[in-house]
Structure 1
Amino acid sequence: MSVQASRRSTPSRGRVLDLVRTRAPISRVELAELTGLTQAAISHAVRALIDDGLLVETDQRTYTGGKPRVLLSLNPRARCGLGVQLGADWIVLVLADAAGAVVARSRLRGARDRDPADVVADIATELDLLLRAAAVSASAVVGIGLVAPGALDLAQGAILASRSMTRWQGYPLRDALTRATGLPVLLDNDATAAAIGEYWSGRIAGSVAHCTLYMGASIGAGIVIGGSVYRGASSNTGPLGRMRLHGPDHGTVEDLAGPHAVAARARTALDTGRPSTIRLSPDADPFLDFTAVATAAVHGDDLAHRLIEESANYLADAALTVANLLDLDSLVLAGPSFTTAGALYLRAVRDRIDAEFFPAARHGVRVMLSGQVADAAAVGAAALVLQEELAPRHLVGEL
């Protein structure tokens, strides 16, 4: 099957697979109760999924006084998805099974100033090696999810604008990777992919309105409503870092909370003689410097802790705005910038939402760190193509 062929999947098939994936082991009777579908419709969908190798009947049974109910479970290795996170500094590649679990992963040097055609060739080679190392047949791979930074043109499969990868602007990225690998490719942004990865993993099961705040070089928001991605008019939703905050230090969220901002404030503080254990990079690399600040913060350095706390409070302002605007019931922090000091950011965001969430009298918001913090976009990219193939949903706001 291809990604295009998946669009012919029936809604009942997708609903059944979603429920088995997140609630297994589960019986046919329970599936009928949860979906509202008839027993005949459930039997037909289950039989089709078993024939495709996606579901299996387990040895487990439930007893309710009558005939024992056979329990169903997912066969995770029946299908796999590949995820590629294209970045200026690093390219992350993952192979995930149908349950969203990472089977294998790899990294390549970043794409910042390299020739796009050379990078695509390297990615294709590395993906082949990844499959060979995991002993996974290419026939089991449903496709490649590809995430890239900046504003995207999903119809053309290209990057429209990117601060960190200007050489890639307008390059037919999706089609080039399809030709290089022979596999269908879905292009999306990192925050959206990270959000659907959280949904596919089952960590936010039951969430009606979810947002993943993704912080790498920039800050974005991926939005999933009822299991479907919200995309807006051009599939460029969620540039949270561009949101402007007003106050004594007015600026955008990225100007105030992003890794560049934290690194710059650390360098200024050290240049003025502030005592600290922070060790900044000799070439003023903002991402290495941010990591140095985060590392010092979790080890108790006072200056570093203040810098991360300041960044976290600005991010909490943005998170609260999104939570109130969308009436969220779950929010996840993901991205490489949360790898070291994620717990400090988590506490700030959780405390702010607990204190000021507008519909708090009706419900709360689950706030947590991603299960795959650093590689959330790559894992989510694999989940994106798995969902499109196995349980496609209407993508909210997509033209």
Structure 2
Amino acid sequence: MLAPVYGADVGPETSKRARRAPRTSTRRVVLDLIRTRAPISRVQLAEITGLTPAAITHAVRSLLDEGLVEESGLREPTGGKPRVMLTISARARCAVGVQLGADWIVVVLTDARGAVVGRIRVRGARQDDPADVITVVAGHVDTLLRATAIGSEQLIGVGLAVPGTIDREAGAIREARTLPRWSGFPVRDALSQALGVPVAMDNDATAAAVGEHWSGRTAGAVAHCTLYMGAGIGAGFILAGAVHRGAGGNPGPLGRLHLHRAGRDAGPSLEDLAAPHTVAHRAQLLMDEGRASAIELTEEGDPFRDFGMVAAAAVHGDTLALELVEESAHYLADAVVTLAHLLDIDSLALAGPSFSTAGSIYVAVLEQRLHADGFLTVGVTLAAHVADAAAVGAAALVFHEEPVVVGPVSAL
């Protein structure tokens, strides 16, 4: 499904930001088509989108001037004058994606086609001071740029994917159960100042969904959902080819969903039932009660490493580990089936570090539950970059979206 074309008549009182929206959307559609269908001509772009030749010419000229697109040298035979073909200029522009989580921090460098040029993965933020974490992340970005010999003139910006609910205008995390010290911290502006480049920010699930869209894997989907599980659980949506952010920019906080009531109380949330820390905790309790298992938990009780141990044991057929992972998957399926009914999704991808080991088990359970509920055509897959999906998607944000607030313009 192609990204839709947005256009509207605007009056004299419309803000400058609103007046830019149609042009920005046209540019985004054209860039997406060139990226996924290259080599492609201007005439083909006009035929596919329904845009006027003048609109296509304007958008293509902008992309050529920015170095994102180049004329490939190929010519499309038409019987008359050959048509110049367009393609993405992969290394002319690069972007950095940062995946901030309590479990892991991932920094990737991608080219304009979405290929990962370099990657650094380190222990998550957890209880560390936010300002200190920003300094460390900035150092990792500098390391990647030096290691890959990417110059500052090639770096178009940085994308930042964060957990929890966010304030897009302020560039801050409103609330993240997994990173409580970050609430209200101006993380976007702090990272922009540390790096001296523009920073675009979104929640991790939405960023992961954008990454799937950027990779072209959702091209045939009308309603796509990316289920993201890192330390917490969320969902990102691509509906009719466009990123869905809802009214406040925070769709899909599945981890907060209460599926089971206990009397008048709401009962446990989905994260309380299915998140990695819960699976690890249940493994410890059951093994303390005498359940036999090959699971090797850490002495310090690290919930994320312990979950990795449970997932690894499950893949190798350990009875207790498989029971715990499948239980987690069925709780997730309760939420996903509800989403499927509400949004009539036709595509589901699983993304996030917590799916990196036992993702195939989750895929099998979710697919079985969806099919049992009548969603026979919904394909369930692992994301293109499972563990690093939010980081790769955050880098795609830089190319795909106009940042709400950017850093120093001179950095471009």
Q: TM-score, normalised by structure 2?
A: 0.86
Match of 2:306 in 1: 289
| 1:36-47 paired onto structure 2 within 5 Å | 36-47=50-61
Give 1:347 shift.
0.9
| 1:100-115 paired onto structure 2 within 5 Å | 100-115=114-129
Output the CA distance in 2 between the equivalents of 1:372 and 1:48: 30
User: CA RMSD, aligned part only?
Assistant: 2.4
Match of 1:304 in 2: 321
| 1:24-173 paired onto structure 2 within 5 Å | 24-173=38-187
Q: Structure 1 pair 234/37, CA: closer, same or farther in 2 (3 Å)? A: closer
Aligned residue type for 1:234: G
Q: Structure 1 pair 338/56, CA: closer, same or farther in 2 (3 Å)? A: same
Q: Structure 1 pair 264/110, CA: closer, same or farther in 2 (3 Å)? A: closer
Output the CA distance in 1 between the equivalents of 2:392 and 2:369: 28
Q: Which of 383, 393, 397 does residue 384 from structure 1 map onto?
A: 397
Aligned residue type for 2:355: F
Q: For the Cα contact (< 8 Å) 1:55–1:72, is it kept in 2?
A: yes
Moved over 6 A (4+): none
Match of 2:10 in 1: none
Give 1:7 shift.
6.2
Aligned residue type for 1:21: R
Match of 2:366 in 1: 349
Output the CA distance in 2 between the equivalents of 1:11 and 1:149: 26
Q: Structure 1 pair 10/184, CA: closer, same or farther in 2 (3 Å)? A: closer
Q: Which of 193, 205, 209 does residue 219 from structure 2 map onto?
A: 205
Output the CA distance in 1 between the equivalents of 2:355 and 2:103: 16
How many residue pairs align between the two structures? 382
Q: For the Cα contact (< 8 Å) 2:103–2:231, is it kept in 1?
A: no
Give 1:9 shift.
4.6
Q: Structure 1 pair 48/284, CA: closer, same or farther in 2 (3 Å)? A: closer
Q: TM-score, normalised by structure 1?
A: 0.88
Output the CA distance in 1 between the equivalents of 2:324 and 2:114: 35
Output the CA distance in 2 between the equivalents of 1:201 and 1:369: 13
- For 2:401, what is the secondary structure of its paired residue? helix
Match of 1:339 in 2: 356
Identity of matched residues, %: 60
Choose 107-116 or 281-290, whichever is displaced more.
107-116
Q: For the Cα contact (< 8 Å) 1:87–1:148, is it kept in 2?
A: yes
Give 1:59 shift.
4.2
Q: For the Cα contact (< 8 Å) 1:7–1:388, is it kept in 2?
A: no
Give 1:385 shift.
1.8
**Unpaired stretches in structure 1, ≥5 consecutive residues:** 391-399
Give 1:282 shift.
1.5
Q: For the Cα contact (< 8 Å) 2:157–2:398, is it kept in 1?
A: yes
Aligned residue type for 1:88: A
